[in-house]
């Protein structure tokens, strides 16, 4: 009987810890708010990253424009731990470190995206004032 009580106690503690980790992850993903348009510039190259889908995975389109021309990449993305993985339709997965600097500003560091800073692009939606009466 005592062993059953100890096992139930351990299972309860494990469940509480698991819930805590999941809640913290969801809060972090909410602060990141990745789906949307992101842009930046580095060494004369303008880059734009459009992420669609859910808070932790979806499709992406990345467009880089510089002196050598325009390059476009499409594929799938997903958040794994504190990294973001990009899987282009024509290549293998590349994992990049993901950092949140402040709301609307993230850092991505990995193969092909060394020390990039992305800033969330505003959209062109204009909120109209509500009529009263």
> For the segment 69-121, what is each residue's pLDDT rounded down to a tens digit?
899 999 999 999 889 999 999 888 999 999 988 888 999 999 988 999 999 98
Give the model's confidence band at 126: pLDDT under 50 very low, under 70 low, under 90 confident, else very high. very low
> What is the per-residue pLDDT across 23-80, written as a single tens digit (0 to 9) for each?
888 887 888 889 999 999 988 889 999 999 998 999 999 999 988 889 999 999 999 9
* DSSP, res 35: S
List the chain domain ranges: 1-32, 34-120
| Cβ-based burial of 72 (10 A; exposed 0-12, middle 13-18, buried ≥19) | exposed
H-helix segments, the chain: 2-32
Q: Per the structure block, which two tokens stand in for 71?
A: 């390059």
Closest CA to 108 of 79, 68, 88, 66: 79
β-pair partners for 98: 108
According to CATH, the superfamily of the domain at 34-120 is: Calycin beta-barrel core domain (2.40.128.20)
pLDDT of residue 125: 47
């Amino acid at each position: 009987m005592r062993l059953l009580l100890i096992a139930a106690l351990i299972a309860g503690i494990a469940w509480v810890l698991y819930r805590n980790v999941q809640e913290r992850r969801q809060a972090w993903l909410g602060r990141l708010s990745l789906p949307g348009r992101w842009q930046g510039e580095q060494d004369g190259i303008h880059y734009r990253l459009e992420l669609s889908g859910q808070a932790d995975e979806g499709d992406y389109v990345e467009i880089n424009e510089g002196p050598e021309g325009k390059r476009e990449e499409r594929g799938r993305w997903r958040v794994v731990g504190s990294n973001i993985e990009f899987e282009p339709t024509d290549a293998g997965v590349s994992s990049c470190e993901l950092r949140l600097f402040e709301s609307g500003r993230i850092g991505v560091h990995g193969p092909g995206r060394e020390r990039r800073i992305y800033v969330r692009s505003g959209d062109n939606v204009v909120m109209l004032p509500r009529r009263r009466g």
